[in-house]
Amino acid sequence: MKSTAFFFLLTWAIAAKAQTPAPVNFTADQDHQYMMKQLGIKTLRNGPSGDESAPNHANYDEALANPYPDLPDALALKNGKKVTTAEMWWKQRRPEIVEDMEREVYGRIPANVPKVTWTVKITDKERVGFYPVIAKQLIGHVDNTAYPLINVNIEMTLVLPANTKGPVPVLMMFGRSALPAPAQPPAADVEKINAALKELLLKEHPEFKTIFEQYPAYNPIAEQSPFGPGGFPGMKGDPPTATQLIANGWGYVLIDPSSIQADNGEGLTKGIIGLVNKGQPRKPEDWGALRAWSWGAARALDYLETEPAVDAKYVGIEGVSRYGKAALVTLAFEQRFAMGLIGSSGEGGAKLHRRNFGEAVESLTGGEYYWMAGNFMKYGASDAVFGAKTAKDLPVDAHELIALCAPRYTFISYGIPGQGDAKWLDQQGSYMATVAAGSVFKLLGANDLGVSNDYKTEKMPPVNTGLLNGELAWRQHDGGHTDAPNVKYFIAWANKLMHYGKAGSGK
């Protein structure tokens, strides 16, 4: 019997080990090459250079910017039939676009993604500017019992105004999770802590005695400002985003993308993508980092739906640059998000793939390929088993990504190149995509930019001139690579659409 039991345990251990392979530790280049091999790609075209003096510099000549001027029709089925009703959009055309976007551009979220369990680590009474808030730091632990070698803990901070009469709208922002202004002990207690610290330091390091004698007023712990992020008296310009949100009766969330999935190629066998794949490399249709970050945001929204002080019907998503891409992807695929502030998102975000201006498809197929599905690399191939493909061969484009957000509130934001929001981002191409998406908003009973949907002829409005009268909005501010100058316009625009005021939830 003993030998039989031993044999059984040995067999079980061998089987368990076989089911738990060690994570693959590819470099980004090795991972990139592995995906090319899976796809049968021999060579990729080089992406354009951001250095305008380089031989392969990016194009910034509008005369050469539209080699593929005709976009896929967002309101035509694959069989050519025109989409004329909202029902046709929801039941037929939208699923077609989602399928193409998932398969060829951003990747699919696997059906077996583990459950996330949220734990509140800290609840603190703090201030943002002069406004009292309740701040919570949370950890979302992803169940890793199926593959214990990878641990994923989503880091999130929720900040809500302390004095409200009802549930409030919340803007979820991609960025580092941090409490705004951790409550500090009173001055008398800080003095006691400093005295004890000095005593301990002198015991361990007697040589500090001369330093403390030379600087008798020095304390290891300095008193901190009670005003939170950027809320100082006499401050010039617009208050920080957090302060503006709280001042207008909103809450906000900071969710750390790096705690969900690393922003690099070598991290693809780790993070949530690696956890689901049990440490093995991706297949061509697997999700990339943008989709993984958007999945994390959706899990954070799961938690917000349990918070009585949050109006879960009015949760927005925000991000700038790569996180602007992630915010747009989140809003497009996760329909529970009510609104989005999409900042300077460029290629892979609001910029048309078919445009030859600044950043290009090849910039992502050879550079930040890990943002996208492996299949996206096909469209940068010059030599492959399937021949060569270009952006023209993509079955979808950015206007359809924006259209997937309809009829929800979608604010596309950019700055100007003169202040650092690089030409590389193609503000004009992003405006064209927004214009083209408008037809879907109108079909669904929402208002678009208030211009025609002729993306070939519509001119981008002057800087600081917002098109903010519909559920689809555009504004290019006169700042740099940030959406901060547009935050006050976003809040006012969203409040108007929600019929929301500081007193409580709107309808």
Tokens of 348: 């892979």
Angle in degrees, CA 414, 373, 139, rounded to 5: 75
Write down the pLDDT at residue 19. Answer: 66
3-state secondary structure of 140: strand
Angle at 490 between CA 447 and CA 480, to 5 degrees: 120
**Which residues pair with residue 403 across a beta bridge?**
none
Residues in the chain where the model's pLDDT stays below 70:
1-19, 183-191, 198, 212, 221-236, 502-507
User: Smallest Cα–Cα separation from 407: which of 374, 436, 370, 442?
Assistant: 442
Q: Is residue 503 part of a domain?
A: no
Please tell me the predicted confidence (pLDDT) of residue 500: 87
Residues 6+ apart with CB under 8 A from 253: 156, 157, 158, 159, 170, 171, 172, 173, 300, 304
Total H helices, total E strands in the chain:
14, 11
Cα–Cα distance, 248 to 255 (Å, whole number): 21
pLDDT at 504: 43
127 Rama sector, left if φ>0, alpha if ψ -120 to 50, beta otherwise: beta
Give the sign of the dihedral formed by CA 464, CA 467, CA 469, CA 472.
Answer: negative
Query: Which two three-digit tokens encode residue 352?
Result: 């048309």
Cβ-Cβ contacts under 8 Å for 202 (sequence gap 6 or more): 208, 209, 212
Decide if 49 is inside a domain: no
Residue 190 resides in a domain: no
Structure tokens at 319: 């991000």
Q: What is the pLDDT of residue 218?
A: 73
Whole-number pLDDT of residue 211: 78
Check: CB of residue 173 under 8 Å from CB of residue 318: yes
CATH number, domain containing residue 410: 3.40.50.1820
pLDDT at 502: 54
Q: What is the pLDDT of residue 216?
A: 72
116-128 and 310-320 beta bridge pairing: unpaired
**Domain membership flag for residue 477:** yes
Domain range for 344: 62-181+238-498
* pLDDT score for 9: 37
Q: Are 317 and 494 in contact (CB under 8 A)?
A: no
How do residues 413-448 score in pLDDT, each as one tens digit? 999 999 999 999 999 999 999 999 999 999 999 999
Torsion of Cα atoms, 379 then 383 then 385 then 391, to 10°? 20
For 29-55, what is each residue's pLDDT tens digit? 999 999 999 999 999 999 999 888 898
Residue 27 lies in a domain: no
pLDDT at 507: 43
> 198: buried, middle or exposed (CB in 10 Å: 19+, 13-18, 0-12)?
middle
Query: Taking a C-beta distance cutoff of 8 angstroms, is the pair 412, 434 a contact?
Result: yes
Q: Structural domain tally of the chain?
A: 1
CA separation for the pair 435, 362 (Å, rounded)? 24
Q: In a 3-state reduction of DSSP, which class is residue 313?
A: strand
In a domain, 39, yes or no: no
pLDDT at 50: 87
Residue 209, in any domain of the structure: no
Dist. CA 493–CA 34, nearest whole Å: 46
In a domain, 253, yes or no: yes
Residue 40 contacts residue 384 (beta carbons within 8 Å): yes
Question: Which pLDDT does position 16 carry in this prediction?
Answer: 44
C-alpha–C-alpha distance, residues 341 and 411, integer Å? 5
